[in-house]
Amino acid sequence: MEDSAPRRGRVTFGWLVGLSQVLGLVSVVLTGVWMGQYKGGFAWDGSAQQFNVHPLCMVLGLVFLQGDAILVYRVFHNEAKRNIKILHGIIHLLALCISIIGFVAVFNFHKVSKIPDMYSLHSWVGMATIVLFFLQWVIGLLFFLFPVASSWLRASYLPIHVFCGLGLLVMSIGSCLLGITEKLLFSLPTYSQFIPEGVLANVLGVLLVCFGGVVCYMVTKEDYRRPPNPEEESLSVYFKTLTEGQSPSSP
Amino acid sequence: MEDSAPRRGRVTFGWLVGLSQVLGLVSVVLTGVWMGQYKGGFAWDGSAQQFNVHPLCMVLGLVFLQGDAILVYRVFHNEAKRNIKILHGIIHLLALCISIIGFVAVFNFHKVSKIPDMYSLHSWVGMATIVLFFLQWVIGLLFFLFPVASSWLRASYLPIHVFCGLGLLVMSIGSCLLGITEKLLFSLPTYSQFIPEGVLANVLGVLLVCFGGVVCYMVTKEDYRRPPNPEEESLSVYFKTLTEGQSPSSP
């Protein structure tokens, strides 16, 4: 009877993980359908089809993969922490690369079509997000995967790293919603008539908000934190010396 | 020497509170300047000037006041918890009333100008935010100010209340950014030429994001939590009976 509450907690957690994956995957698919079905598909020739690569990359990289990279610490409870750290870093790197492809796609399209860059709120928030995302990844790599910072510094930085990670996911989703609104207002004069394309794009926006909500809930809920395991060493300590002491607690 | 770290923490906290108030107040002022200076001022006659009431009310009520209502638990450390609870509820009620005025302003303007309602992503996210905000306020009132729920139920609901509160602040800011983008794309054909109105509105969006970031940081940082005070009773227990037991910990 005593362990029924934790078990129920793990079952709920499992459902939430499933829900997050459904929300994330459906968002990626809907973006693909919107760009593929309604906007003429994909290309890499400076045309409007090249622009279509941008939303797909941002939803896939900056939202879905970033969210999943954050979740690995909660999902893989029984794996060695160093493995999870590497997985966390690799998925974030993949998210970063896909996001950069998405950025190149839109800047190249703008250049060919002589459309001004960086004037809209979407571009300001989006650019801030990708720059901070890159910085967060580099600092995370230096602090937690390589022994650059002292244990004290790493322990102090960890809560900031976690807070900024969730903040960047929220900013990414906000940027996507701004982008959806821009795209609809620029290219859909019949948006106000509740036509399928407009409704599909709105639903995409709502799903992205729900994805962010579920991921943030799972990461901030105390019960779902990875339990501390004194037998495990952080990878930085593992690389440097096995005798230096305890690593900071897991994010 | 031992208490220098907490004291330094309080000094940093004081600066963060000041920063949040500057960001919030400047956001409200910038919204007023944008609508007053560039969009023809305010009125309540179904004209475009009535629409201008909408952004001002949303930034003031749904963002600034909601953020401040959340912060009272962190700012007033030494006040009796029941007083803080009442203040928290009253500022939220004020935020709700101002937000409803903002909603009425835009729906009334749409009706007079025969503009369709509720087709845009901004309207979907905004409506979801205000409905959930209202529900959160009513449930919070019933659970924490009146003795409707049991102590166990209140304690279980508290973390959800805190998470949803921050989530609603983030959704409110997201809705504002979507609204800024809509307004600029609908009414500023020269937006891409970096004209002052466009830059001002973009800066407003960035300030709102910063306000949300600072408030969320202060609320989620463990060191800034209100220390538990066993002498204080929750107001629900205070209303019901002083002998029922401990209230759930402060949000």
Q: Tell me, what CATH number does A17's domain have?
A: 1.20.120.1770
Inside any domain, residue A239: no
Which of B119, B174, B198 has its CB closest to that of A119? Answer: B198
Angle ∠(A166,A92,A30) on CA atoms, nearest 5: 80
Q: Which of A178, A192, A220 sits opposite B178 (nearest CB)?
A: A178
Q: How far is CA A247 from CA A152, A153, A155, in A?
A: 9, 11, 8
Residue B154 falls inside a structural domain: yes
| Contact flag A119-B181 (C-beta cutoff 8 Å) | no
The answer to whether position B85 is within a domain reads: yes
Classify residue A27: in a domain, yes or no: yes
Rg of chain B taking only CA atoms, in angstroms: 20
The whole-angstrom separation of Cα B195 and Cα A161 is 36
- At residue B237, the pLDDT reads 44
- Look up the pTM and report it: 0.92
Which chain A residues have a beta carbon less than 8 Å from that of B116? Answer: 192-193
* Contact call for B171 and A216, based on CB within 8 A: no
| pLDDT, average across residues A103-127 | 98
Range from A12-21, B2-11, B26-35, B204-213 carrying the lowest mean pLDDT: B2-11
* Residue B87 pLDDT > 60: yes
Q: What pLDDT score was predicted for residue B78?
A: 84
Residues B95-125: b if buried by 16+ CB within 10 A, e if exposed:
bbebbebbbebbebbbeeeeeeeebbbbbbb
- Chain B residues whose CB is inside 8 A of the A159 CB are 221-222
pLDDT of A246 above 80:
no
Domain-located, residue A23: yes
So what's the pLDDT on residue A248?
43
Q: What pLDDT digit, counting tens, does each position of B100-131 carry? A: 999 999 999 999 999 999 999 999 999 999 99
- Give the span between the Cα atoms of B48 and B11, in whole angstroms: 45
Which residue of A lies nearest to B221 if distances are taken between CA atoms? A159
Reported confidence tier of residue B227, pLDDT bands at 50, 70, 90: confident
Which residues on B lie below 8 Å from A120 (Cβ)? Answer: 181, 184, 191-192, 202
pLDDT of residue B148: 87
Q: What is the pLDDT of residue B77?
A: 82
Answer whether B176's CB lies under 8 Å from B205's CB: yes
CB spacing of A120 vs B202 below 8 angstroms: yes
| CB contact (8 A) between residue B220 and residue A170 | no
Q: Residue range B205-234: average pLDDT?
A: 85
Cα separation of A142 and A157, whole Å?
12
State mean pLDDT over A115-124.
Answer: 98
B174: chain A residues, CB-CB within 8 Å: 173-174, 177, 209
What sign results for the dihedral spanned by CA atoms A198, A200, A204, A206? positive
What's the pLDDT tens digit per position in A90-101?
A: 999 999 999 999
Greater model confidence, B90 or A6 = B90
pLDDT for the residue B70? 98
Mean pLDDT (chain B) is 91
Q: What is the mean pLDDT of residues A12-16?
A: 96
pLDDT at residue A224 tops 60: yes
pLDDT of A77: 82
Domain count, chain B: 1
pLDDT tops 90 at residue B85: yes
Interface of A with B (CB under 8 A): 115-116, 119-122, 124-125, 128, 159, 163, 167, 170-171, 173-174, 177-178, 180-182, 184-186, 191-194, 198, 201-202, 205-206, 209, 213, 216-217, 220-222
The stretch B35-61 carries a mean pLDDT of: 98
The residues on B that touch A, with CB distances below 8 Å, are 115-116, 119-122, 124-125, 128, 159, 163, 167, 170-171, 173-174, 177-178, 180-182, 184-186, 191-194, 198, 201-202, 205-206, 209, 213, 216-217, 220-222
CB contact under 8 A, A121 and B181: yes
Between B146 and A206, whose confidence is greater? A206
Q: Is the confidence at residue B52, as pLDDT, over 70?
A: yes
Q: Is the pLDDT of residue B197 over 80?
A: yes
Tell me: pLDDT of A201 over 70.
Answer: yes
Nearest residue of chain A to residue B187 (CA atoms):
A185
Given a cut of 50, whether residue B238 has pLDDT beyond it is no
What pLDDT does B5 receive? 75
Decide if pLDDT at A37 tops 70: yes
Write the pLDDT tens digit of every residue in A131-149: 999 999 999 999 998 878 9
Q: Determine, yes or no, domain membership for B230.
A: no
The pLDDT of B173-196, averaged and rounded, is: 98
User: Which range marks the domain in which residue B24 is found?
Assistant: 12-224
Report the pLDDT value the prediction gives residue A229, as an integer from 0 to 100. Answer: 60
Nearest to B124 among A128, A167, A206 (CB): A206
Residue B74 lies in a domain: yes
User: pLDDT by residue (tens digit) across B134-182?
Assistant: 999 999 999 998 878 999 999 999 999 999 999 999 999 999 999 999 9
Task: Please determine, for residue A250, whether its predicted confidence score (pLDDT) is greater than 70.
Answer: no
Domain membership of residue A230 (yes or no) is no
Assigned token pair, A51:
């622009």
In angstroms, the separation between the Cα of residue B217 and the nearest Cα of chain A is 7
